[in-house]
Every structure is written in C-alpha cells, then in structure tokens.
Amino acid sequence: MEWDSDFFSFGVAKLKPTSEGGFDIKKALQQRSIKLAYIESHQLLPQLENFLIGGKVKYSATLPLKKNSICKDIVSISPSESSEELESLAIQSGQFSRFNRDPNIAREKFEELYRCWITRSIRREIAFENLASKSDDKIRGMITLAKHGDRGRIGLIAVDHKYRGHGIGKMLIEGAAQKFTEENLKYVDVYTQCENVGACKLYNSCGFKVIEKYYIYHIWVN
C-alpha cells in the first residue's frame, strides 16, 4: 500500500484472509520488508486473535433520504478554509479508529493521519464537497463527501463534544444526502467502527441499514 507506506515510513500491505494453516505470515512479510499488514475478514480468524483491533461496519441508504429535521446552519466549507476547529473535529471523528486503538501507532501519528485526511478533503483531493454546522462563526460539526459511480460516500463526520445531543449529526447527514441527490446519486454509504455505538445509533435513526461487517487485524512484524 503505497500511500500508507509513505505516510508511516515503513512497508505496509493489505492481505486477503485465509483459513489455511501452516503458513508463516510474519516470515513472508519480513521477506518483503513489510512491517505492518492489514487484514479485513467477514469471519473471525482464531489463528490471528492476538492481532484483532476491532470491527468495521458498512451502512447504506437509498437516496433521497426521508428528512427528519430542518438542516439549518449547514454550509459548504471553502477549499481555502483551514482551522484548528476542523482539525480538532477530524481527530474527534477518529476516536474509535483502528489507528487510534492500535497501541503500536503513536497518538501523534494517528492525529497527523486525520489532519492529513481533513486537509486533503477540504482541498477537494479526496472529496467533492465538505459541509459544516456553523453558528456564531463557530464550527460545531463537519462532514466530508465523496462519490464513486452512482454511490455517495461519507468520509469524516464529527460533532464537537461540546455540542453533541442537539441533532447536529442528523442535520449534517441530511445535508450531505441533499448534496448527493443533487449529484444524481442513488445510494449513500458510510463506514464506522462496531465499537462506535453513538455513530451506529445515528445512522440507524437516519434510515441506513447494515450491509457488511468486518473484523480488522493489524499484523506487526518486529
């Protein structure tokens, strides 16, 4: 994985899960100068239980979404905008991220990853639109939007911890769904962590359905 390898400054790969025994994964990775390998599996892999980081779930909904709230104070984020508020929200969005949960990844590196993610999104490198909930010039929440074929995809989404519990997350999702609909997209997808109970409840309340679940493993080679 070229981008990941460049970011972490060591070899990173993604492996397909296998139930075959007698295969020394670490030895094979060492031979290829790989220090970290990701595995995503729909089934638990008992032989790799020590490398389990957590679960990932994919939600999907058909557009347009049925509106449940008034999308007030939802604005587009300018491609030239950059702020500590947006960086803080990006980091908050990754609270349950596998990169934050993995004890082998330093907190500073995890934060750098999410700062990079929001910066590239705002510049429209990996997103076509980004929305924020703003009030009194304060950004209370944000969401990044990408598209693939006839599907929209929510990337980062976060509501600042000081403003949670006021329906801002739902307004951000409905604002995003409106943008996706304007782009003539048919579906919207979003990934989150199984451990992120708040996010799962939010997507369920907005009419999303679970279509896939994964177990995520990080295999480190000393």
- Dump the DSSP string for 144-161: EEEEETTEEEEEEEEE-G
Please tell me what DSSP assigns to residue 133.
Answer: E
Strand spans (E) along 138-208: 138-148, 151-159, 187-193
Phi, psi torsion values for 177, nearest 5 degrees: -60, -35
Output the pLDDT for position 20.
59
- Helix, strand, or coil (residue 61): strand
Q: Is the pTM of this model over 0.85?
A: yes
Q: Identify whether the C-beta of residue 71 lies closer than 8 Å to the C-beta of residue 174.
A: yes
Output the pLDDT for position 110.
98
Which residues, at least 6 apart from 155, have a Cβ–Cβ distance to it below 8 Å? Answer: 117, 121, 126, 127, 143, 144, 145, 146
Output the pLDDT for position 80.
84
Distance (Å, whole) CA 26 – CA 124: 38
Residue bearing tokens 């769904």 = 177
The per-residue pLDDT string of the chain (222 residues; one tens digit each, 9 = 90 and over) reads: 999 999 999 999 999 876 655 567 888 899 999 999 999 999 999 989 999 999 999 999 999 998 766 677 899 999 888 789 999 999 999 999 999 999 999 999 999 999 999 999 999 999 999 999 998 889 999 999 999 999 999 999 999 999 999 999 999 999 999 999 999 999 999 999 999 999 999 999 999 999 999 999 999 998
Output the pLDDT for position 81.
83
